[in-house]
Amino acid sequence: MTKSERTGMISRRNLILRAGAGMVAASFAPVLLQVQPANAEEISDITPEGALQKLIEGNQRYIEQKRTFPDQARSRIVEVAKGQHPFATILACSDSRVAPEIIFDQGLGDLFDIRVAGNFLDDVVLGNIEYATLELGVPLLVILGHERCGAVKAALDGKAVPGHISTLVAAIKPAVDSTKGQKGDAWDNAVRANVKMNVNKLQSSSPLLAAAVKAGKLKVVGGRYDLDSGKVDIIA
């Protein structure tokens, strides 16, 4: 076989492989474009307001040390192994003292947790929220900041930080800058501003989530967790 014949065979083989890959991609395209929940009939009919009330009641139990530790039995493990249907998405700080299932007294499969230092939005976080809202039908999003947040303090101090920590600082800095000149505690002002900034930013950053909010399928609120009392206050 000549070199030109071998080259021709390889070219035809590559063409066939590329065509096959294109057909596979095309077959998945309709699935990727769907925005309806995969198992809509199984998703709870809890309203956004009902979901928020459930969190507030759970937080009150936590504060009073009257936790019920719901959805943590063996039967719940078996139930959620078949699929998840959380009633709230919590975008919380990575801080070890702010664990959503604990401070809201919830259990397995109840909350869709997204945790990043400084509880800010970026493309990856937005993708997580969109998945929870569109695929899982979660009706509530809480962007949860907390008292004495270290990531916010780093942005407030304005000092050079090593490695990828600078990414966190850069994301939070606009909120810090917006509080300059405000009366009160500068650190807590910045924590609150960071929560409110991201609540406001959400809809402009994601047309999909903006449409869900407009349709009444998603409620977005901002909260602040008090490290000393354990209380979550809704601030946005």
Positions at the binding site:
93, 95, 146, 149
Instruction: Give me 40's structure tokens.
Output: 């809509």
List phi, psi (to 5°) of 79. Answer: -65, -50
In angstroms, the CA 121 to CA 128 distance is 10
What spatial distance separates the first Cα and last Cα of the chain, rounded to whole Å? 74
User: Would you list which residues are annotated within the binding site for Zn(2+)?
Assistant: 93, 95, 146, 149
Q: At 39, which helix (H) or strand (E)?
A: none
Sheet order of strands, 232-234 included:
111-115, 88-92, 140-146, 219-225, 232-234
Q: Which residues contact 125 (CB under 8 A, 6 or more apart)?
A: 91, 114, 116
In angstroms, the CA 46 to CA 63 distance is 24
Residue 197: other Cβ atoms inside 10 A: 21
- Given a contact cutoff of 8 angstroms between Cβ atoms, the answer to whether 76 and 110 are in contact is no
In angstroms, the CA 66 to CA 58 distance is 9
